[in-house]
Amino acid sequence: MKRVGVLGAGSWGTALALQLARTGHDVQLWARNPEMALLLAEEGRNEVYLPEAEFPDGLLVTSDLDRLVDSEAVLVVIPSHGFRSVVRELLAVWPRDRTVVLVSATKGVETDTLARMSGVSSEEAEAAGCDHRFAVLSGPTFAAELAAGVPSAAVIASEDHQLAAELREAFSDWNLRLYSSSDVVGVELAGAAKNVVAIASGVVSGVGLGHNTTAALITRGLHEISRLGVVCGGDLQTFSGLAGLGDLVLTCTGGLSRNRRTGIELAEGKSLEQIEGETSMVAEGIRNSLAISRLAHREGIEMPITEQMRQVIYDGKEPELAVAELMMRELKAEAQL
């Protein structure tokens, strides 16, 4: 897979485009805004999201989706609420005689439909009359660190075993080690649900609680994420791997985590409107708290941390009260799913 398209010129999309171009791929990085695409091309870097990383040879920036139709794989790195519309736009120009390979690097679930990005891709491809193959890329990877060449590892999952293996071999390099998986459900849900627990981790830090509390939160957070994933058809083993535990630990403890930062700011008394208005970066856990809470309700399972964060974010619940209610829940055996 020599020719790769990347939809989305935010921090993660730019980092992936940089990584692939540095390893010999011909990359077309798509930005929706033509002015932004022109600016990125002229400056040879993304001053807004990754100002330290210079674009290598082989990375071209465009706002024209027609430039991506020669791609052998297209990475979709769009926030979950915009994923469907961008995929629809791409498929509208995609040649009907060629199969499109879509690789989701989005960690989210649609709030209204509760569809994962694999379902969105399938629905849109069917509606457009396009043959498609799908994979998801996820794991403990901060964009800034990958862009800086920091050794990282992640998972590439597809129900198409051959595609997972092809992408694993094509995209891995000395600083990015990919492991293949067939558990699309588990990898997608782990990536979406951990963002909500990361906001809770920020809340814990923001109200001045300690490492004991954070460790308990991460452990019990993994428990409820696993519960959701298994009920929805995921493999329990996935949640102890890179896309599960690995990504959860990183997002709950790392200083570069947007979701953790959101939790800290909530604990400091900032409103959701203030938090979203002060940054151009998207904290997926904000919308994911609604989507995951609704998904848990649909499946008839308890996700107490997620539910408390939904109430803190959208109902104005005091963070200290949310923590207290989590601590005073009915006692039970630890292993009980």
Q: Sketch the domain layout of the chain as residue ranges.
A: 3-182, 185-327
pLDDT band at 337 (very low <50, low <70, confident <90, very high): low
CATH number of 185-327: 1.10.1040.10
pTM: 0.96
Residues 102-131: pLDDT tens digits? 999 999 999 999 999 999 999 999 999 999
pLDDT of residue 281: 66
Residues 182-194: pLDDT tens digits? 999 999 999 999 9
What one-letter code names the amino acid at 333? A
Q: Map residue 230 onto helix, strand or coil.
A: helix
Question: Which two tokens mark 213?
Answer: 């509390």
pLDDT of residue 244: 98
- pLDDT greater than 70 at residue 280: no
CB 308 within 8 A of CB 317: yes
Residues 194-248: pLDDT tens digits? 999 999 999 999 999 999 999 999 999 999 999 999 999 999 999 999 999 999 9
Q: Please state the rounded mean pLDDT for residues 55-68.
A: 96
pLDDT band at 160 (very low <50, low <70, confident <90, very high): very high
Q: Please state the rounded mean pLDDT for residues 152-167.
A: 98
pLDDT band at 274 (very low <50, low <70, confident <90, very high): confident
- Catalytic positions are 194
CB 84 within 8 A of CB 124: yes
Residues 302-315: pLDDT tens digits? 999 999 999 999 99
Rounded to the nearest 10 degrees, what angle do helices 258-267 and 304-315 cross at? 60
Domain 3-182 - what CATH class? alpha beta
Question: Using only C-alpha atoms, what is the Rg of the chain?
Answer: 19
- pLDDT greater than 80 at residue 142: yes
Q: Give the end-to-end CA distance of the chain in Å, rounded to a whole number.
A: 41
Q: Which residue has the tokens 């499946």?
A: 299
pLDDT of residue 119: 98
Torsion of CA 265, 152, 135, 44, to 10 degrees: 80
pLDDT of residue 335: 81
- Residue 5: what are its φ and ψ, rounded to 5°? -105, 145
What order of strands is seen across the sheet that includes strand 132-138?
A: 59-62, 26-30, 3-7, 73-76, 100-104, 132-138, 152-157, 176-181
Q: Which residue has the tokens 């995209």?
A: 171
Residue 73 CA to residue 4 CA, distance in Å, equals: 5
DSSP class per residue in 159-181: SSHHHHHHHHHHH-BTTEEEEEE
Contacts of 265 (CB under 8 A, 6+ apart): 202, 206, 274, 275
With 0-12 / 13-18 / 19 or more C-beta atoms within 10 angstroms meaning exposed / middle / buried, residue 153 is middle
Same fold, 3-182 and 185-327: no
CB 104 within 8 A of CB 98: no
pLDDT of residue 137: 98
Q: Please state the rounded mean pLDDT for residues 157-174.
A: 98
Half-sphere exposure (CA, 13 Å, Cβ side) for 185?
A: 12
pLDDT band at 285 (very low <50, low <70, confident <90, very high): confident
Q: Please state the rounded mean pLDDT for residues 144-158.
A: 97
Average pLDDT, the chain: 95
Residue 212 CA to residue 333 CA, distance in Å, equals: 19
CB 130 within 8 A of CB 96: yes
Question: Which two tokens mark 269?
Answer: 């008394």
Sign of dihedral through CA atoms 64, 52, 152, 306? negative
Question: Which two tokens mark 274?
Answer: 């203030």
DSSP class per residue in 240-251: GSIIIIIHHHHH
- pLDDT greater than 80 at residue 37: yes
Residues 70-103: pLDDT tens digits? 999 999 999 999 999 999 999 999 999 999 999 9
- pLDDT greater than 80 at residue 279: no
What one-letter code names the amino acid at 104? S
- pLDDT greater than 90 at residue 271: no
